[in-house]
A and B are shown apart, each in its own frame.
Chain A
Amino acid sequence: AQSVAQPEDQVNVAEGNPLTVKCTYSVSGNPYLFWYVQYPNRGLQFLLKYITGDNLVKGSYGFEAEFNKSQTSFHLKKPSALVSDSALYFCAVRDKNRDDKIIFGKGTRLHILP
């Protein structure tokens, strides 16, 4: 069965510092991986995805994520955090070889301190 783990409920980072939001996954085959962001009282907005190819994926708003197959991880990163990055972040996975639903993690609240 597919699963996604986001081990941190909340991450606090000072503005201007680099940030990392962790995600590990489990699928029986090869994964499609996604990161979404959710602002208060809004739906989820797509940030980036890993399909195949380069392990470092660049996305919206300066975010990037690194796919690590051996560690089954897909951590979200940004070199310099902004206060406006404060939001709820979700990692999601879908098994590439199965026509199956997308599974979301429980989310990590990112708090950027001014």
Chain B
Amino acid sequence: DAGVTQSPTHLIKTRGQQVTLRCSPKSGHDTVSWYQQALGQGPQFIFQYYEEEERQRGNFPDRFSGHQFPNYSSELNVNALLLGDSALYLCASSLLTGRSNQPQHFGDGTRLSIL
């Protein structure tokens, strides 16, 4: 039973470029959340997708957008990259319905470096 998988594992971009990160949730999960973890910090919630729609959003600008596909996989897109976007981007999956007490399952993340 595969857990949460993310690709790529590492990525190097330059300022102003655009990037797409991908996530496949754990089998049986229907909800995907994305987090940004800067060096030395805890994960910061970006947004959550359920039924192919953005369900919740954290304090991130519109440069951060996402998508969820019918197979529950998800993409995170970041436009007009800034140096401050350098971070580990984590994807977490869970079951949504009535289960806010359930833990999320995390992938190993994508390390994004902006030059």
Q: Which A residues are within 8 Å of any B CB, using their own CB? A: 4, 32, 34, 36, 41-46, 49, 51, 90, 94, 96, 99-107
Contact = CB atoms under 8 A, between A and B. Distances in A.
Nearest to B10: A41
Interface size class on chain B is: 20 to 34
Interface of B: 4, 6, 33, 35, 40-45, 48, 56, 58, 90, 92, 100-101, 103-109, 111
Contacts of A45: 106
B106 A44 contact: yes
Contact of B108 (A43, A51, A94): A43
Contact of B100 (A36, A44, A99, A103): A99
A100 B107 CA distance: 21
A96 B2 CA distance: 29
Q: Which of B42, B103, B107 has the most chain A CB atoms closer than 10 A to its own CB? A: B42
Contacts of A41: 108, 111
Contacts of B33: 101
A103 B109 CA distance: 18
